[in-house]
Amino acid sequence: MNVASKENAITPSHPVDDWYRLDAAEALRRLDSAETGLRRQEAEERLQLYGANALPEPKKKHPLLQFIAYFNDVLIYILLLAAVIKGFMTQWVDMFIILAVAVINALIGFVQEHNAAKSLKSIQGMLSNNAVVIRDGETQTVDARSLVPGDVVALRPGDRIPADLRLLDAHNLLVEEAILTGESTVVAKQVAPIEGEAILGDRLNILFSGTTISAGTAKGVVFATGADTELGHINQMMADIDPHPTPLLKQMDSLGKLISLLILAMVAVLFLFAFFLRDIPFAELLLALISLAVASVPEGLPAIISIILSLGVQSMARIRAIIRRLSTVETLGAMTVICSDKTGTLTMNEMTVKAVITANGNYRVDGESYAPVGKIRPEDNGEGEAVIEAGNVLGHFITVIDLCNDSGIRQDEQGRWAITGGPTEGALKVLAVKSGLQLNDAALIEKIPFDSAYKYMATRHRIGAEHRVFVTGAPDVLFAFCRQEMTEAGVRPFNLAFWEGEVARHARQGLRMVAAAYKNIAPDSAPLDHDTLRQDMVLVGIAGMMDPPPAGGHNGHSPLPAGRYSRQNDHRRSPGNRHGHRRHARDRHQ
């Protein structure tokens, strides 16, 4: 293809936001590509046409101009005028003090804005650095900046999606899209086209730049790069925000004008009175009036305001809130109502197991987020610590949730803990690490991946000489599979009323429930299938988890009481749904 313009690659009659309506073959045709990818020469030509796959850098002011802009204030004008007059009066000490106040005021604001601008550039870090592409029929790793529309990209768990893609192939694909949709639950993706209008969160055959593959594998064709991606649109919206004066700046401007008018009026009245009625010599009168005018200027006011606002900025910085301009602190203090999405704003967007239910008793789990720190304690003994051994019920429960799990836990260079895989499975993996139970002799033989159609995941493991099937999933589904439950005294008949009561009690606290079950099978048993799970399963326990509020709220406490948060969390996800149902499009508009 001889690429002469963008219109040659993307048909004008088909808007770029409608790719989810096309089937995979039509998307490839419109992009003049194939599943074997572009030719290298063609990719280079398109790179020249479309530019690098990177978010555009905003236009930058020269640092000197940014600094000078902080002198654009009525009170600062008065200070500078007072300094000039002090200089004419040879009062050098007063002049330098006033100039120092003005410069320090501007310097504080300049440094604060510079630091905030560096933090806001973190959106650039949401783009992937590398991408696995297919070009000339060969798989290769390239710089993600060189991706162009028509490139075919291969993805695996843990990959950050490098551009907006139309899916060509997907296997058990789960994607974390919280940065775009605000939903903490992973999204199951599919290849089939979508009929009618679909909002961003419902475009299940599209992968968006900056989001992350939690589980499964995929292959997709690039249809948007850089500023044309959804992440690029967000970046552009942030750049296009028009500055508005804050209430404090409006009040300061009004005060400055009022002070200026009062000083001018006072000087004029005194001049007329003294010169015409008291016959004071002009030179002497002028010096007295200038001194009076300078004395009337509140030169300490801008400095005091800057210091107070700086203290507010530092307080916000200690709780990891970025304040770009000093005056914004006062604006936040003037707010009476804040409208905010819950996930990732009022909460940490990190699922955490808070309770474990077994037939012999319940346990609560300390710790927040994905950091594997915290103890497992009996619910009726807050000071004690649970005994976790390979042979007891809690040990069996940890074994199931640890082995029937596709996620992993890792610590980055900054010491922050994160997971690979879905947030629900990740929370269970963190609980397993907290328990300290070691499972070194377990080998995975086969598995049934999680699917929202049947709401569970199953694995078959060899532990020593035994073969076991482990299942984790929605409690209501596993209840139908189980005829027995595990206790410290051995297995006994399944008590459905007890388990449903416990699930309801914990669901009222806003916890999402995930059940765990197992059964022993013969080494020569038939391959694992869904029918195998529908008989002779033994329920071991249930984990209750939530997306907690940040720990660093006001006075070190969570910003929302646990009960209020829990009820907010409860109405959005059924306690019986392991990964949580996705809200209807109509609900997301409200």
| Strand, helix or coil for residue 357 | strand
CA nearest 547: which of 176, 181, 185?
A: 185
CB-CB contact of 170 with 188 (8 Å): no
CB-CB contact of 286 with 89 (8 Å): no
Q: How far is CA 462 from the centre of its chain?
A: 38
In one-letter notation, the amino acid at residue 100 is: A
pLDDT per position as a tens digit, 531-547? 989 888 999 999 999 88
| Domain annotation covers residue 343 | no
| Domain annotation covers residue 340 | no
State the pLDDT at residue 97.
81
Residue located via tokens 């300490």 = 300
| CA–CA gap between residue 185 and residue 424 (Å, rounded) | 8
Note whether 405 and 505 are same-domain residues.
yes
CA nearest 45: which of 59, 32, 62, 36?
A: 32
State the pLDDT at residue 349.
72
Q: Distances from the Cα of 273 to the Cαs of 97, 278, 281, 285, 353, in angstroms? A: 32, 7, 12, 11, 80
Q: Distances from the Cα of 193 to the Cαs of 187, 388, 467, 532, in angstroms? A: 16, 48, 41, 33
Q: Pairing between strand 417-420 and 187-188?
A: unpaired
| Domain annotation covers residue 397 | yes
Residues 6+ apart with CB under 8 A from 101: 79, 299, 300, 302, 303
Residues serving a catalytic function are: 341
State the pTM of this model.
0.57
Find the range with the poorest average confidence among 102-106, 427-431, 580-584.
580-584
More confident residue, 421 or 456: 456
| CA–CA gap between residue 53 and residue 166 (Å, rounded) | 16
Asked whether residue 111 carries a pLDDT value surpassing 50, the answer given is yes
| Strand, helix or coil for residue 152 | strand
| Residue 207 burial (C-beta neighbours within 10 Å; 0-12, 13-18, 19+) | buried
| Domain annotation covers residue 341 | no
Q: What is the dihedral of CA 173, 174, 175, 176, to 10 degrees?
A: -170
Q: Of 238, 269, 304, which closes a domain?
A: 238
Note whether 67 and 41 are same-domain residues.
no
**Residue 562 pLDDT grade (very low, low, confident, very high; cuts 50, 70, 90):** very low
| Domain annotation covers residue 283 | yes
**Residue 241 pLDDT grade (very low, low, confident, very high; cuts 50, 70, 90):** low
| Strand, helix or coil for residue 163 | coil
pLDDT per position as a tens digit, 314-364? 777 777 676 767 777 777 777 788 776 666 567 777 889 999 999 988 999
CATH number at residue 39: 2.70.150.10
Note whether 231 and 87 are same-domain residues.
no
| Residue 531 burial (C-beta neighbours within 10 Å; 0-12, 13-18, 19+) | exposed
CB-CB contact of 148 with 222 (8 Å): yes
Note whether 367 and 483 are same-domain residues.
yes
State the pLDDT at residue 116.
63
Q: Structural domain tally of the chain?
A: 3
Residues 6+ apart with CB under 8 A from 393: 358, 359, 360, 486, 487, 488, 540, 541
- Return the structure tokens found at 427: 């929370």
Question: Distance between terminal CA atoms of the chain?
Answer: 46
| CA–CA gap between residue 427 and residue 552 (Å, rounded) | 21
**Residue 24 pLDDT grade (very low, low, confident, very high; cuts 50, 70, 90):** very high
State the pLDDT at residue 178.
80
Q: Of 190, 207, 238, which closes a domain?
A: 238
Q: What are phi and psi of 127, to 5 degrees?
A: -85, 145
**Residue 470 pLDDT grade (very low, low, confident, very high; cuts 50, 70, 90):** very high
State the pLDDT at residue 158.
80
Q: What angle do CA 487, 492, 495 make, to 5 degrees?
A: 95
Note whether 428 and 313 are same-domain residues.
no
Note whether 465 and 487 are same-domain residues.
yes
Mean pLDDT score across all residues of the chain: 80
Q: How far is CA 21 from the centre of its chain?
A: 28
Note whether 373 and 292 are same-domain residues.
no
State the pLDDT at residue 473.
94
Asked whether residue 560 carries a pLDDT value surpassing 50, the answer given is no
**Residue 573 pLDDT grade (very low, low, confident, very high; cuts 50, 70, 90):** very low
CATH number at residue 578: 3.40.1110.10
State the pLDDT at residue 133.
93
Note whether 449 and 555 are same-domain residues.
yes
| Domain annotation covers residue 72 | yes
pLDDT per position as a tens digit, 306-316? 777 777 777 77
Asked whether residue 398 carries a pLDDT value surpassing 80, the answer given is yes
Note whether 230 and 249 are same-domain residues.
no
| Domain annotation covers residue 115 | yes
List strand residue ranges (DSSP E) for 122-209, in order. 130-135, 138-143, 152-155, 164-176, 187-188, 206-207
Note whether 523 and 585 are same-domain residues.
yes
| CA–CA gap between residue 118 and residue 487 (Å, rounded) | 56
Q: Of 311, 334, 357, which closes a domain?
A: 334
pLDDT per position as a tens digit, 143-176? 999 999 999 999 988 888 999 999 999 988 889 8
Note whether 473 and 573 are same-domain residues.
yes
Q: What is the DSSP letter of 344?
A: I
Asked whether residue 460 carries a pLDDT value surpassing 70, the answer given is yes
Structural domain span for residue 509: 348-589
More confident residue, 529 or 286: 529
State the pLDDT at residue 350.
81
| CA–CA gap between residue 167 and residue 184 (Å, rounded) | 22
pLDDT per position as a tens digit, 488-505? 999 999 999 999 999 999
Q: Distances from the Cα of 194 to the Cαs of 178, 185, 190, 202, 222, in angstroms? A: 21, 21, 10, 9, 18
| Domain annotation covers residue 339 | no
Q: What is the DSSP letter of 342?
A: I
Note whether 501 and 447 are same-domain residues.
yes
pLDDT per position as a tens digit, 130-139? 889 999 888 8
